[in-house]
Structures are given as structure tokens and as C-alpha cells.
Amino acid sequence: MDLIDDPQPGGNAPEFSVSEISGAIKRMIEGEFGHVRVRAEVGRVSYPKSGHVYLDLKDDRAVLSAVMWKGVAARLQTPVEEGMEVVAVGRLTTFPGQSKYQMIIDDVRPAGMGALMAMLEKRKAALAAEGLFDAARKKPLPFLPQVIGVVTSPSGAVIRDILHRLRDRFPRKVLIWPVAVQGERCVPEVVRAIRGFNALTPGGALPRPDLIIVARGGGSVEDLWGFNDEAVVRAAAASAIPLISAVGHETDTT
């Protein structure tokens, strides 16, 4: 009986190593999608200590993993949040040695003011339903506070104006907790400042404020967006020290 070798699987199909296939796919994806705009809803967002931002871009049928390197994230006017509708600009690439791809984002912005304001109204409604804006929660302001804590940028017109007004009307001790008032550092720094003032011990080496003012000047919706963050709202609501919001101009809403 003659022995006949079984034909190779796939017949005359070209043969590749895994590395060759991965390299070919990488070149194809990066060549075809070297510069793209993607409109999506932001899903999961992660802000590790490295300063990079990892997030999911999604619609109702698919999810695209994405990353913003530290330098790009630091330039954002509006920090990305879960649920935000955005337009991201960047490129697609593949992970070396893995069958995965992701978008490297060079810029990302809210997909129009309508989407941003709708997100704000939804957040306000959810927090209002929890009772965070109830009049009964408001603390009476001291008539003549002895110590005032100010959460704002240490430079610029806002702090100069506050100090000038206080000197003119009733000079008091002022403690300034410097924070970023826009960009990715805004939210964590403002939250830390409000909690930090509350953590001071009455009669301690650093006096505990009788009143906190959170302040910044006017700007676009994107510029002021950090003050709409849920973490900032919750920190303000939890403050045992009466707190005044002095964010934006009269026509601005946060």
C-alpha cells in the first residue's frame, strides 16, 4: 500500500509567521487610518499618576480603546468625562505583539455646545434629586468672618480683586489655597483645597477659615467646565465651612 502525504492545510495559500501577519496589519491600519476624526461617546476613563489618559470611545455598536499622552492631556480645555459626546482627532495603531488596536488622540473636544449643556442639565437633575441643592443645606454666612479661605489661581485679576475689596471694606486674614482653574488639574486641586480647609483644626497653627470662597474669572463653557464636575459639587456640598461660589461672570452658569 502506497503512503501518500496529506496535502498542506490551505492548499497554495501564502504562509506567514505570526509576527509577519501582525506587522502587515499594523502597516495597513496605520497607513489607512493615519489621521482620523471620530465622533463618539466617552465610556470608561482612567487618569493614572503617569498623567496619560486612557479611555473608551463608543457608540451603540462598538467600543474603541484610546489613549492621550500626558502632553496632550495637559492642553485640554475641557477634561473628558464618562458620558460626554466628543470628536476625537488622532491616529490608529496596534499594540506590538498583540492582536489589539487603539486610537492615539492628538486632540479631543465636546461635540458641540448642545451636547455639553445637555450633559450639564442631566448632571444637575441627578444631583438635585439627591438633595444637594436643597435650600435647607445652605449654611448661614458669618456676618464678619475673621479668617477667609480663598480657592483660586494665585495669579491673575481674580485674587487681586478679592484682596483689594477686602482691604477696602473690612480687612481680614486671608488664606489662599492655590489651584489650577481650568484643565485636567482643576478638579482634583479644587476638591483637595475645599477638603483641606475643612480639615484644619480650630485653634491650630494655621487658622481654620470661617468662610471659603471658590473663585475664578469668566470664560467659555469649556474653560469653566471643571467647576461643573460632580466631584467639585460634592466637595462643596460636604463642606462644614460656609462656601461662596464666585466662578465666572454674572452671565456664566456653573
Where in the chain are the domains?
Answer: 18-112, 132-247
pLDDT bucket at 172, cuts 50 / 70 / 90 = confident
Q: Which of 231, 105, 83, 213 is nearest to 152 (CA)?
A: 213
Inter-helix orientation angle 113-129/230-238, to 10°: 30
Q: Is the pLDDT of residue 4 over 60?
A: no
pLDDT bucket at 195, cuts 50 / 70 / 90 = very high
Q: 101: phi > 0 → left, psi -120 to 50 → alpha, else beta; which?
A: beta
| Res 115: pLDDT | 73
| Res 9: pLDDT | 63
Which class would CATH give 132-247?
Answer: alpha beta
pTM greater than 0.95 (yes/no): no
Q: What is the pLDDT of residues 26-79, one digit of tens each?
A: 899 999 999 999 999 999 999 898 989 999 999 999 999 999 999 998 888 777
| Res 254: pLDDT | 58
Q: What is the arithmetic mean of pLDDT over 198-226? A: 89
Domain 18-112: give its CATH architecture.
Answer: Beta Barrel (2.40)
